[in-house]
Amino acid sequence: MTSAAISSASAAGQPAPAGRADGRIDCDVLVIGGGSTGAGVARDAAMRGFSTVLVERADMATGTTGRFHGLLHSGGRYVVKDPKAAQECIGENIILRRIADDCIEDTGGLFVTTPIDDPGYADRFIQGCKATGIEVQEIGVAEALRREPRLNPRISRALVVPDATVDAWKMVWSCVRSATQYGATVLPYHEVISVIRDGSRVAGAVVRGPGGELRIRAEVVINAAGAWAGKIAAMAGCEVKVRPGKGIMVATNHRLVNTVVNRCEMPADGDILVPIRTVSVIGTTDTLVDDPDDWPISRQEIDEMLTAGENLVPGFRESRTLRVWGGVRPLFQDEGPAETRDVTRAHAVLDHRARDGVEAFLTITGGKFCTYRLMAQDAVDAACGVLGTSRPCRTADEPLPDSGEQKFYRIGSRLAGRERTLHDEQLICECELVRRGALEEAIARRGAASLDDIRRALRLGMGPCQGGFCTYRATGILHQATNLSAAEANRALLEFLQERWKGLHPLLHGDQLRQAWLDDWIFQGVLDVEHLPLAEQERARV
């Protein structure tokens, strides 16, 4: 499985920046990378009044950000091992609950001592929580089992912390919306092909997008490419050692728990079970890989996740699993290699003037999703330094669009919303309750030819049938709503099926295998998708 970029969709819907017609844009701040950090940096910079451009080689939040379990850490995970990271987490947890409630489900979290855990760790955990300012409360095992009846009944201790879950795609797009409201230009599907140097100074980047090449000149360039930050830095002639740390996750068909459940133990593989939207995700692993774009998922890793799930929730192995996927953490190392879990999860802002004698170029790396806002703040503070100005950060106070009313997301909200349109609107994705109107709005908003981009906005095709019943419906609507040719629409269908299949096939068994057969009959048997008319060059791609 690789997370290769697909430069298939246009970035229509974005306001055309000044000077774009001649293939040039001038701005104060150029942000490279459209993950949570980049989106946060773009928002922060735009809010401070800098003219800002963000470029991302694929769609927003498709690198590491869109490929994690969805846990908004309380910081509990790091209290013993990495108190600095823990402090950052709880600080940001509190802020994000305030400014991004629409993206967050307030599930709460439990740290439980399972039979394979060191019983003494819980006391160190409590001390660590107190030292780092994380609210913690011990509850009895019976109470823990009442709250989460499927938990391993052999747990010996249970501690409640303010973990939550977060929809990363929604968070990133909320940042993008806010940034563009403040005048930023956000360009997904624009890949950096070179960094512009102006003597010792970095002066921007050349990017290739659907409309050709763009030359973006900037006063300061912020490299927020996460696990790919080393590649971007190298283009500027700098060395940044970011080791991609691969983590895999497995999603179950429905929620087995409604609270985030962590093993009360030093961070290890498969020790978190996260209820995110309609599924539970068990994660994760941590393995160094060489190339953030090319790494495998082995059967053994999947098996380890299932075993880990079984330890937290007996019967986990018998539960239907929907898919497996992985993401690569940006693990920043200044010196020699180490075990990935020993690398600090705190973040770092690198000013390459001091490190490499390269001016106006910053790299923000390390960190975690839940500290993205703080990372952005630190990065833009540093950018202010480069620009010789001082403007205060306001992202901790101003809520994201649709947030700010302390109305956390509820899993039942889509079901409740569906009640209002039950009788007059078609359901396109039955599993995730995606209405026709919601799909049409998303297509209009994104102007995207890629169903996978729509998927991230709506969860289209992310439920039990993994696109078996919605792909053909959505393709027809996409074809109708856009000016795609039949061949292009066919390609969109095939690419979506291919994308779904990537995460399905490594762990197909039991109920999901049965589903895959039915889906296969629909697409091969009834629709004969392998012989859909495609343009010749399209056929070569799929």
Partner 1 sequence: MTDEPAFDFIRDSLDHCVKCTICETACPVANATPLFPGPKYVGPQAERFRTPGSSDDGSLDYCSGCGICSQACPQGVHVAEINSRARATMKQQRRMPLRDHLLSRPSVEGRLATPVAPLANFVLSNRIFRVLAERTLGIHRSAPLPTFAGRTFQRWARRHRPAAAEREVVYFHGCSANYFQPELAEMTVAVLEHNGFRVLVPPQDCCGLPLQSNGIFDTARSYVRRLVGNLAPYARAGNQIVATSTSCGLMLKREAREILGIEDDDLRVVSEQTYDICEFLADLDAAGQLRTDFRAVPMTVTYHAPCQQQGHGIGKPALDLLALIPELKVIELDRACCGIAGTYGIKREKYDIAMKVGQGLFDDITSSAADLSVCDSETCRWQITHATGRPSVHPVEVLHRAYGL
User: What are the residues binding partner 1 (CB under 8 A)?
Assistant: 145-146, 149-150, 153, 253-255, 258, 278, 314-315, 318-320, 410-416, 418-419, 422-423, 427, 430-431, 433, 463-465, 468-469, 511, 514-515, 518
Indicate the residue among 197 and 254 with the shorter CB distance to partner 1: 254
CB 60, CB 393: distance < 8 Å: no
With tokens 């061949």, the residue in question is: 487
CB of 276 to partner 1, least distance (A): 12
Contacts of 368 (CB under 8 A, 6+ apart): 73, 85, 89, 329, 345, 347
**Nearest approach, Cβ of 71 to partner 1 (angstroms)?**
18
Pick the closer one to partner 1 by CB: 244 or 463.
Answer: 463
What is the bridge-based pairing of β-strands 109-113 and 157-161?
antiparallel
Closer to partner 1 by Cβ: residue 130 or 410: 410
With H, G, I as helix, E, B as strand and everything else as coil, classify residue 74: coil
Q: Which of residues 256 and 308 has its CB atom nearest to partner 1 in the complex?
A: 256
CB of 423 to partner 1, least distance (A): 6
Closest separation between CB of residue 419 and partner 1, Å? Answer: 6
Residue whose CB is less far from partner 1, 148 or 286: 148
Tell me whether residue 16 or residue 422 sits nearer to partner 1 (CB atom): 422
Q: Which is nearer to partner 1, 419 or 536 (CB)?
A: 419
Min CB(518)–partner 1 separation in Å = 5
Counting beta carbons within 10 angstroms of the beta carbon of residue 522, is it exposed (0 to 12), middle (13 to 18) or buried (19 or more)?
middle
Cβ distance to partner 1 smaller for residue 72 or 99? 72
φ/ψ of residue 296, rounded to 5: -95, 165
State in angstroms the smallest separation of the CB of 141 from partner 1. Answer: 13
Q: Are strands 212-223 and 361-366 parallel, antiparallel or unpaired?
A: parallel
CB of 417 to partner 1, least distance (A): 9
Positions of E strands within 284-440: 287-288, 321-332, 347-351, 361-366, 427-429, 434-435
The rounded distance, in Å, linking the Cα atoms of 175 and 157 is 39
Min separation Cβ 515 and partner 1, Å? 5
**Closest distance between partner 1 and the C-beta of residue 457, in Å?**
18
Contact 433, 422 (CB under 8 A): no
- Minimum distance between the CB of residue 145 and partner 1, rounded to whole angstroms? 8
Nearer to partner 1, 27 or 256 (CB): 256
- CB nearer to partner 1: pick between 266 and 411: 411
Considering beta carbons, is residue 66 or 464 the nearer one to partner 1?
464
Distance CA 475, CA 496 (A): 9
Exposed, middle or buried by CB within 10 Å (0-12, 13-18, 19+), for 401?
middle
Dihedral angle of Cα 113, 117, 121, 126, to the nearest 10 degrees = -20
User: Concatenated DSSP letters for 140-203?
Assistant: -HHHHHHHSTTS-TT--EEEEE--EEE-HHHHHHHHHHHHHHTT-EEETT-EEEEEEEETTEEE
Distance in Å, CB of 146 to partner 1, minimum = 7
Identity of the residue, 267 or 314, whose beta carbon is nearer to partner 1 in the bound complex: 314
A 10 A CB-CB count for 421 gives 14
Amino acid at 365: T
Token pair listed for 232: 């971007």
Cα 403 to Cα 410: distance, rounded to the nearest angstrom:
13
Closest CB 275 distance from partner 1, rounded Å:
9
Rg of the chain (C-alpha set):
23
ω into 371 cis (within 30 of 0): no
Question: What whole-number distance in Å separates Cα of residue 81 and Cα of residue 100?
Answer: 28
* Residue 226 vs 468, nearer CB to partner 1: 468
What angle, 0 to 180 degrees and rounded to 10, lies between the N-to-C axes of helices 83-99 and 372-387?
90
* H or E element in which residue 250 lies: strand 242-252
Q: Quote the least distance from Cβ 458 to partner 1, whole Å.
A: 15
d(CA 342, CA 340): 5
